[in-house]
Amino acid sequence: MAQILVVDDEVGIRELLSEILADEGHQVLLAESAGEARRLRESHRPDLVLLDIWMPDTDGISLLKEWAASGQLGMPVVMMSGHGTIETAVEATRIGALDYLEKPIALQRLLATVKRALRNHEAAAPRELSLATLGRSPALAETRKRLAQLAQAAAPLMLRGERGMRPELFARLLAAAGAPVVEGHGMMADASSDMLVRASGGILFVGDLSLIGRAEQKSLEFLLARADKHKARVVSYSPIDVRALVEKYEFDAGLVARLSELVLKLPALRDFAEDVPDLAALILVQLVEARACPPRRFSVAALNALRHHRWPGNLAELDSVVKNLALGALDEDIGLEDVERVLAAHAGSSPPPEIALDRPYREARDAFERLYFENLLARENGSMSKVAEFSGLERTHLYRKLKALGLPVRRREEN
């Protein structure tokens, strides 16, 4: 049967629920505080949590928010309270709670709720990585604000950015809570109204446009023409500019114009490096929750090393690195040495970066300079004095150049 964690500061409630659930054949874990609940949640990964709202150290709503923000809400949670209100129940379900039980809890209501929660948990799909709780960096915070603003529109939106950015994660931020996000890339050849029905009220996302051929373009035109009827919004992604889509990839100019009624440039991962530790931790938690690897956690030094890496492969590279660390680390704690080992292996197999030669001279020059200084900064571990010496630029000129290129400037050398 299932393993159920009961969290309540009242010993009588804990004992009563434990007896009832044990009689039903379940294994029961008991916690009298949020701190103990955290420990048991991490060490046992229960199938269901019955969580009291009012506790002396940390209330249940705050603990629920904490689990949701850290990617640890991989199990159903049912809230319990003897002093609850409708507003509290609504807030709990908005955060991620499955249901709400009011004390004193009726036996049949308890058993029915537990049965339903466990059934839903077994049928639930693995949780996807989300950017919804992130935004320490100005670049990602601004992008989320712009997406929230663009979510109010219905026109097709084209996301632009470097390869490896996993643009579907940004597209999901455009969908209202509970609305579908249907990824159409790979199914364009068989596109039909059924795809729009599944995306009704939500987002139909079309991945890398540079990989779509002429036949698939016809399917995309079919979907665009009927999207409004199904209240589905078409969001696409392109790693190259709209002019290159037409001139180099034989895209129909009219179709590109319709897809790009609205355009948003996505920041590269190096532009929101402050969020890398949180992203890496979320990816690792999901692997642990899915039992794809043994229990793992990052050391502070390991997270700092990940933050300072340049990530030429963006989010796709980060995902690959974390998976390598999760499966290849010998200890439960992933340390700095593990990160250095995996990053060195990735660096050795990384393809050479591309320089776009189909841009105006000024844009091509800026792209080359940005790539040049990114590689130099990474090689010299961010040391401004070494970068200045190697490049032959005076320090003040170097600072101005890096700032103009949008690259991080370390004003004080670190030991």
pLDDT digits (tens, 9 = 90+) for 86-124: 778 788 888 889 999 988 899 999 999 999 999 876 545
Judged against a pLDDT cut of 60, whether residue 353 lies above it is answered with no
CATH of the domain at 156: 3.40.50.300
What tokens appear for 279 in the block? 């992203």
What mean pLDDT comes out for the span 248-273?
93
Exposed (0-12), middle (13-18) or buried (19+): which is 413, by Cβ within 10 Å?
exposed
Residue 304 domain-assigned (yes or no): yes
Q: How far apart are CA 7 and CA 51, in angstroms?
A: 5
Total domain count, the chain? 3
83 and 167 inside one domain: no
147 and 235 inside one domain: yes
CATH of the domain at 294: 1.10.8.60
273 and 257 inside one domain: no
Residue 373 domain-assigned (yes or no): no
277 and 250 inside one domain: no
Length of the chain: 415
Judged against a pLDDT cut of 60, whether residue 169 lies above it is answered with yes
116 and 162 inside one domain: no
Confidence of residue 249 (pLDDT cuts 50, 70, 90): confident
312 and 335 inside one domain: yes
218 and 329 inside one domain: no
| % of the chain surpassing 90 pLDDT | 51
pLDDT at 195: 85
161 and 247 inside one domain: yes
User: Token match 């996505």: residue?
Assistant: 266
pLDDT at 20: 95
Confidence of residue 291 (pLDDT cuts 50, 70, 90): confident
pLDDT at 339: 95
Handedness of CA 116, 119, 125, 126 (dihedral sign): positive
User: Domain containing 215: what range?
Assistant: 138-265
142 and 253 inside one domain: yes
pLDDT at 190: 61
192 and 219 inside one domain: yes
Highest mean pLDDT among 180-194, 214-228, 320-334: 320-334
180 and 113 inside one domain: no
Judged against a pLDDT cut of 70, whether residue 129 lies above it is answered with yes
Peptide bond before residue 351 is cis, with ω within 30 degrees of 0: no
Residue 399 domain-assigned (yes or no): no
221 and 166 inside one domain: yes
What tokens appear for 335 in the block? 């340390």
Confidence of residue 415 (pLDDT cuts 50, 70, 90): very low
Q: How far apart are CA 166 and CA 185, in angstroms?
A: 13
Can you point out the beta strands (E) in 76-211? 77-81, 99-102, 157-160, 181-183, 203-208
User: Would you call 293 helix, strand, or coil by DSSP?
Assistant: coil
DSSP lists the bridge partners of residue 79 as 51, 100
Among 88, 123, 158, where does a domain finish?
123
CATH of the domain at 84: 3.40.50.2300
User: Would you call 376 helix, strand, or coil by DSSP?
Assistant: helix
Residue 387 domain-assigned (yes or no): no
Residue 408 domain-assigned (yes or no): no
Residue 178 domain-assigned (yes or no): yes
Whether this prediction's pTM lies above 0.85 is answered by no
Residue 309 domain-assigned (yes or no): yes
| % of the chain surpassing 70 pLDDT | 91
pLDDT at 192: 66
What mean pLDDT comes out for the span 52-77?
87
What tokens appear for 392 in the block? 């032959």
Quote the mean pLDDT of the chain. 86
Residue 44 domain-assigned (yes or no): yes
